[in-house]
C-alpha cells in the first residue's frame, strides 16, 4: 500500500497531491472505516515527501471529514459512503431516444462536426479568425491589471444581465461615432455575435415564418435561422450588394418576419454594399415594414472602399433596425463579447432572455475589453492590423488573379476572398484533389440558402503566411486547371 | 467652430479624443465635403492641444477616409455619407406586437425585473452571492499572469465549444475525487450552471412534458423549466430530503421526462439529503428509468454534516445522471464557468447546441480559473471561506432561534437559511413591514412549484455583517411577533 504514489506536477502543492491521493483511496474503499493510517512520520517516508506535507494533507482530510484524529493515537478513516454502488442504481438509457429534434438539428447543422480537417503541415484557407501573432498581449495584460486594481472584487462577483455599465456606455458612444441616433434605443451585451443573433431570433414572433437574407450569407446565421424554425428566402448578391429587382419581387410575393443583412465585408463574398445601394435596400424594406437585423461584421477592417454608414444610421430615429456588433474578428475572439443595439422595448425582452440563458456575459471579459478600449488601444491596434491584413489581402488577390485566372474574385476587405468558377465546376472535387496535396479551403455551397454555390469557394487568409498563400493558391490553380482540362 | 472641444478623460489618449470630436462633426454634416480644415498648427491653438496630437488625429482620419490631404495645401473633408436621413427610412414599429410568447414569458418570470429593491443602507438578506471581500484577488491576478505568459495568444483566439482542454481534464479528475465513474461520460464547459441547465432542457424530448423536482426548489430552475415548456411536479422536502411516499405516489401516477434534484445545501431550504435517503430516491427513480439532472449547488461549502456522495457517484457506470457543477457560489460568479458531466453521446448533442448558442465560453475565464485551481488555491480559499461562512451561518442560526423563535429554521450549510412560519402567516406582509424599517429578505413562495410557501422565507447571510445580521433578524423577529399578535 502507498507505493503507487508519485508527485506528478511540479506546480501543484505537494500536500494537495497527497490529499488527492488519499482521498481517492478512501472513496474507493481501499482504506476502510476506522482503519488507522500510518503516522505522519511513517507516511512521509512511505510517500517520499516531507512530514509537513503529510501533516497538511491529514489536516485537510480531517476538515473534509474523511479522517478523524484520536488524540495521542493517530488518524483514522471516517465513515464515508463508498462509491462502490448498488447494481440497481446503475441503469443505462439510450439518450438518442430521449433527445428532441432541436438537438438533432443542432448536430446535423454543426459544420465543425462535419467539416474538413486539415492535417499537420497543411496550408489551410478555412479560417477567418484573426492572426493571433498580431495580438496585443502587453496591453491586454495592462488592461487586466488596471481594471483589477480599480475594482477587482466587483469584477469577480455577479454583474448585470444587460452588461458591464462602463462598457455599455463606451459602446453607445462608439455607435454614435458611426452616426447612429441613440434616441429610444438601448444596448445589451452578449457573449459574441452568435449569442446576440440567437437571442434576437428566439424572441421574434414567427408570424410569417420566413426571413430574408443575402444569398450566399454567413453559414452560422443560416444555421441559427434554421434552428430557430425560420424558413429562409435568399436574395442574390451582386457586386454592389443585394439584387434590387429580386428583392422587390420577393417582397411583393409574401410577407417576412425580418431581414438579416451584412452590408460590410459580407461573409462569404467580401462585398461592401455601396451607400446608394444601402439606401435603396432600406427604402424597399421600410415600404414593407420589414425589420432588419444588421450584422456589423468586420466593419472596422476597412482597407480601400470609402466610408459607409451602418444601416442603423440610415434609419435615424426609426426603430426598425437591430444592430449586432462584435470585435471578435478584429480583436480577441477568445473573449466572448458582442452587443445588440436596438429599440429600448425590444432590448428589455432580450435582457430577460439573456438572464434566463446564462445570467450575464463574463464581467472579466467585459471589463478587460472596456479598459483596453478606454485606454485607446483599439485604434492603435486596428492601424497595425489593417496594414498587415491589407498587404495579405492584396497579395492573396494578386495570387488568385495570377494562379486561378478562370475564377471570378470578389472581396473589398476583411479576412477572406470569394471565388466563383463557371457554373458546372465543383469545388468539392477541387477540395478533394487539393487536400491530397496538403491544401484546404471552404467550398462555398455551405453559405447558400438554396442548393447552389457548388462552383464557389472562400479563401480565408488571416492565418496563412504570404509564402503559404502563394504556394497554396498555386496548387489550387493548377489543380483547378486540371479539372477544367485547361493548360495554365 | 471648434470652441466646444474639451479633453474630458485623463486616461484616454488626447489624439483619440480629438479624432472622435472631429469625426462627430464630419458625420453630423457640421463639416462638409471638400471643406478645408485649419492647419495642424492653427487647430492645435483652437483646441488647446499639442500640434503632434492634431497631426496624429488627422493621420488617423485620413486612414479612415474621412479626410484627404492635398500635398502642400492641407487637409480636406472627404465625401462621407451623412447620417442626416431620409424620412422614408425612419419608420417605427411596435415591437411588442412582433415578440413571441417565449420572450414574453422570459420577462414575466424574470424575478430581477419584479423583485424587491433594497434601498441605500438597507440590511438585505436577499443575496446568496459570495462575499466579495473574501475574494482572493492576488492569486487570481497571478493565475492570469501565469496563464498569459504560457499561452496568451491562444487564450485570446477562438477555442473549442466543449471547453478549454486543461480545464476539462482538471474537472474530470475533480469529479473522480467525488467518486464519479467517468466511464462512458464526457464533460462540457458552460457559462455557469444556468446555461448548462438551459442547454440540457433545450435538448430533452418532451415525451411526457413533465419534470419531477423538490418543492420548494431553486427559482431559476423553475423559471427555466417553464421557459422550456415543461410542467413541474414538486415533491415535498422533509428534513432529510424528498418525501419518499410522495415520490412513490407521483411515480405511480404518471411518467416523467426527468427529475431535477439538489441533494446538497438545497436552495432554498439548505437541507443536505442524507446518504441513505439519496440511495432510496435513486432506487425509486432507477426503477422507473427517470434520468436525473443533479445540481451540485454549493457542494463545496460543507460545515457540519458528514461526507455525502453526489447522486452521480451512486449511479456508478450508469448513464442516467446529468451532473451540473459550478464554483460560482464558492469562488467567482463574475467568471461565468460551469460544467455538465453526462453520458458521452448526450454531451455530443449538448456541445452542438452550445456552439450554436455562443460558440464557446470565454477562454480567458476558463484559463484563469484553470490556473487558479491548478495552483492549488481552491483548497486554501475554501478553507478560509468555509471558516468565515460557518461562523456567520452559526451566528445567523442563533439569531434566528433567539429573535424569531416562532419560525422553524432549516439549513445545514451553504450561504442561507430557510424559515417556515405557521401555515396562515404571510411573509409578504412581513416583508412589507420590515422593508419600511430598512430590512429585506426573500419571501419563500417564489421557490414553490405550486401556490404554497407564503409562510416561508429565505435568509441569505453571505454579504451581511454579523452586526447587521443581528440587527436585521431582531427587526424581523419583532415585526413578525407584532403580526402574530405575540409578545416577545
Give CA separation, A248 vs A239, A264, A283, in Å. Answer: 18, 21, 11
Helix (H) or strand (E) holding B75: strand B74-77
Cβ distance A107 to B348 less than 8 Å, yes or no, reads yes
Chain A, chain B: beta-carbon pairs less than 8 Å apart: 412
Give the closest-approach CA distance of A128 to chain B in angstroms. Answer: 11
Measured in degrees and rounded to the nearest 5, phi and psi for residue B323 equal: -100, 125
Cα gap B321→A83, rounded to integer Å:
15
Is A150 in CB contact (< 8 Å) with chain B? no
Measured between CA atoms, the residue of chain B closest to residue A14 is: B376
Q: Would you tell me which residues 43-62 of chain A have a C-beta closer than 8 angstroms to some C-beta of chain B?
A: 60
Q: Give me the pLDDT at residue A259, please.
A: 98
Is A63 in CB contact (< 8 Å) with chain B? yes
pTM (global) more than 0.80:
yes
Cβ distance B64 to A302 less than 8 Å, yes or no, reads yes
**Lowest-pLDDT choice from A374-388, A464-478, B75-89, B173-187:** B75-89
List of chain B residues whose C-beta atoms are within 8 Å of the C-beta of residue A209: none
Q: Give me the pLDDT at residue A386, please.
A: 87
**Mean local confidence (pLDDT), A70-78:** 91
Cα gap B51→B236, rounded to integer Å:
75
Is B274 in CB contact (< 8 Å) with chain A? no
Nearest C-alpha neighbor of B260 from the set B291, B238, B237: B291
**Mean local confidence (pLDDT), A379-402:** 92
List of chain A residues whose C-beta atoms are within 8 Å of the C-beta of residue B111: none
Handedness of CA B308, B309, B311, B315 (dihedral sign): negative
Average pLDDT, chain A: 92
Q: Give me the pLDDT at residue B399, please.
A: 97
Is B361 in CB contact (< 8 Å) with chain A? yes
Q: Give me the pLDDT at residue B480, please.
A: 97
Q: Residue A86 is nearest to which of B279, B291, B379, comparing CB atoms?
A: B279
Cβ distance B363 to A66 less than 8 Å, yes or no, reads no
Angle at A123 between CA A120 and CA A126, to 5 degrees: 105
Q: Residue B358 is nearest to which of A66, A145, A336, comparing CB atoms?
A: A336
List of chain A residues whose C-beta atoms are within 8 Å of the C-beta of residue B155: 334
Q: Residue A320 is nearest to which of B85, B91, B145, comparing CB atoms?
A: B91
Question: Does residue B306 have a pLDDT over 70?
Answer: no
Is B159 in CB contact (< 8 Å) with chain A? yes
| DSSP state, residue B89 | G
Band of residue B84 on the pLDDT scale cut at 50, 70, 90: low
Q: Residue B365 is nearest to which of A137, A346, A365, comparing CB atoms?
A: A365
User: Residue A295 contacts by C-beta under 8 Å, 6 or more apart in sequence?
Assistant: A193, A197, A218, A221, A260, A261, A262, A324
List of chain B residues whose C-beta atoms are within 8 Å of the C-beta of residue A92: 318-320
Q: Give me the pLDDT at residue B11, please.
A: 78
Give the closest-approach CA distance of B402 to chain A in angstroms. Answer: 29
Q: Would you tell me which residues 457-476 of chain B have a C-beta closer than 8 angstroms to some C-beta of chain A?
A: none
Q: Give me the pLDDT at residue B85, please.
A: 62
List of chain B residues whose C-beta atoms are within 8 Å of the C-beta of residue A357: 194-195, 198, 357
List of chain A residues whose C-beta atoms are within 8 Å of the C-beta of residue B113: 352
Cβ A356 vs Cβ B127: under 8 Å: no
User: Residue B346 contacts by C-beta under 8 Å, 6 or more apart in sequence?
Assistant: A95, A99, B203, B319, B322
The cell for A243 is: 439584387
Q: Residue B194 is nearest to which of A91, A275, A359, comparing CB atoms?
A: A359
Q: Which of A10, A81, A147 to mutate to test the interface with B (most CBs of B within 10 A)?
A: A81
Q: Give me the pLDDT at residue A187, please.
A: 98
For the segment A176-191, what is each residue's pLDDT rounded down to a tens digit?
A: 988 899 999 999 999 9
Measured between CA atoms, the residue of chain B closest to residue A63 is: B383
Q: Give me the pLDDT at residue A109, please.
A: 94
**Mean local confidence (pLDDT), B136-140:** 93
Q: Give me the pLDDT at residue A186, please.
A: 98
Is A155 in CB contact (< 8 Å) with chain B? yes
User: Residue B49 contacts by C-beta under 8 Å, 6 or more apart in sequence?
Assistant: B7, B14, B18
Give the closest-approach CA distance of A192 to chain B in angstroms. Answer: 7
DSSP assignment of B352-386: HHHHHHHSSS-HHHHHHHHHHHHTTHHHHHHHHHH
Cβ A366 vs Cβ A164: under 8 Å: yes
Measured between CA atoms, the residue of chain A closest to residue B306 is: A65
User: Residue B485 contacts by C-beta under 8 Å, 6 or more apart in sequence?
Assistant: none
Measured between CA atoms, the residue of chain A closest to residue B338 is: A358
Question: Does residue A161 have a pLDDT over 90?
Answer: yes
Q: Which of A17, A129, A179, A207 to mutate to test the interface with B (most CBs of B within 10 A)?
A: A179
Give the closest-approach CA distance of B480 to chain A in angstroms. Answer: 31
The gap from C-alpha B46 to its chain's centroid, in whole angstroms, comes to: 49
Question: Does residue A314 have a pLDDT over 80?
Answer: yes
Is B275 in CB contact (< 8 Å) with chain A? yes
Cα gap A213→A217, rounded to integer Å:
7
Measured between CA atoms, the residue of chain B closest to residue A309 is: B81
Q: Give me the pLDDT at residue B177, please.
A: 86
Question: Does residue A306 have a pLDDT over 80?
Answer: no
**Lowest-pLDDT choice from A208-222, A395-409, B319-333:** B319-333
List of chain B residues whose C-beta atoms are within 8 Å of the C-beta of residue A275: 81
Is A134 in CB contact (< 8 Å) with chain B? no
Q: Give me the pLDDT at residue A181, please.
A: 92
Cβ A74 vs Cβ A36: under 8 Å: yes
**Lowest-pLDDT choice from A130-134, A303-307, A312-316, A375-379:** A303-307
Is B165 in CB contact (< 8 Å) with chain A? no
For the segment A437-455, what is each residue's pLDDT rounded down to a tens digit?
A: 999 999 999 999 998 999 9
Amino acid at each position: 500500500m502507498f507505493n503507487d504514489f508519485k508527485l506528478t506536477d511540479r506546480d501543484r502543492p505537494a500536500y494537495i497531491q497527497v490529499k488527492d491521493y488519499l482521498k481517492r483511496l478512501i472513496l474507493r474503499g481501499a482504506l476502510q472505516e476506522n482503519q488507522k493510517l500510518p503516522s505522519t512520520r511513517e507516511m512521509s517516508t512511505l510517500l517520499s515527501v516531507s512530514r509537513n506535507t503529510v501533516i497538511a494533507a491529514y489536516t485537510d482530510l480531517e476538515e473534509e471529514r474523511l479522517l478523524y484524529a484520536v488524540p495521542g493515537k493517530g488518524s483514522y478513516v471516517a465513515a464515508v459512503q463508498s462509491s462502490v454502488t448498488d447494481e440497481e442504481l446503475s441503469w443505462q438509457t439510450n439518450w438518442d431516444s430521449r433527445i428532441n429534434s432541436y438537438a438533432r438539428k443542432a448536430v446535423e447543422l454543426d459544420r465543425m462536426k462535419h467539416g474538413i480537417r486539415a492535417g499537420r503541415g497543411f496550408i489551410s484557407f478555412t479560417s477567418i479568425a484573426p492572426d493571433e501573432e498580431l495580438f496585443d498581449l502587453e496591453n491586454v495584460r495592462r488592461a487586466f491589471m488596471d481594471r483589477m486594481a480599480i475594482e477587482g472584487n466587483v469584477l469577480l462577483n455577479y454583474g448585470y444581465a444587460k452588461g458591464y455599465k462602463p462598457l455599455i456606455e463606451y459602446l453607445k458612444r462608439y455607435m454614435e461615432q458611426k452616426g447612429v441616433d441613440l434616441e429610444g434605443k438601448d444596448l445589451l451585451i452578449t457573449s459574441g455575435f452568435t449569442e446576440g443573433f440567437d437571442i434576437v431570433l428566439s424572441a421574434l414572433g414567427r408570424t410569417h415564418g420566413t426571413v430574408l437574407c443575402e444569398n450566399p450569407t454567413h453559414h452560422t446565421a443560416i444555421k441559427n435561422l434554421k434552428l430557430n424554425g425560420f424558413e429562409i428566402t435568399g436574395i442574390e448578391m451582386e457586386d454592389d450588394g443585394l439584387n434590387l429587382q429580386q428583392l422587390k419581387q420577393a417582397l411583393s410575393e409574401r410577407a417576412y418576419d425580418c431581414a438579416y443583412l451584412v452590408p460590410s465585408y459580407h461573409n462569404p463574398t467580401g462585398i461592401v454594399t455601396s451607400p446608394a445601394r444601402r439606401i435603396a435596400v432600406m427604402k424597399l424594406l421600410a415600404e414593407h415594414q420589414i425589420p432588419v437585423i444588421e450584422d456589423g461584421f468586420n466593419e472596422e477592417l476597412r482597407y480601400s472602399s470609402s466610408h459607409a454608414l451602418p444601416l442603423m444610421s440610415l434609419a435615424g430615429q426609426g426603430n426598425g433596425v437591430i444592430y449586432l456588433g462584435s470585435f471578435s474578428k478584429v480583436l480577441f475572439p477568445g473573449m466572448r463579447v458582442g452587443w445588440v443595439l436596438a429599440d429600448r422595448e425590444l432590448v428589455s425582452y432580450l435582457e430577460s432572455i439573456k438572464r434566463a440563458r446564462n445570467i450575464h456575459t463574463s464581467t472579466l471579459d467585459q471589463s478587460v475589453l472596456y479598459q483596453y478600449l478606454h485606454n485607446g488601444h483599439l485604434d492603435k491596434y486596428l492601424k497595425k492590423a489593417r496594414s498587415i491584413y491589407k498587404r495579405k489581402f492584396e497579395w492573396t488577390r494578386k495570387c488568385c488573379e495570377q494562379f486561378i485566372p478562370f475564377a471570378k474574385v470578389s472581396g473589398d476587405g476583411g479576412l477572406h476572398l470569394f471565388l466563383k468558377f463557371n457554373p458546372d465546376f465543383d469545388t468539392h472535387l477541387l477540395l478533394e484533389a487539393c487536400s491530397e496535396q496538403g491544401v484546404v479551403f471552404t467550398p462555398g455551397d455551405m453559405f447558400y440558402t438554396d442548393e447552389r454555390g457548388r462552383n464557389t469557394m472562400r479563401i480565408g487568409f488571416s492565418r496563412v503566411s504570404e509564402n503559404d498563400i502563394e504556394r497554396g493558391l498555386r496548387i489550387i490553380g493548377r489543380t483547378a486547371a486540371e479539372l477544367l482540362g485547361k493548360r495554365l
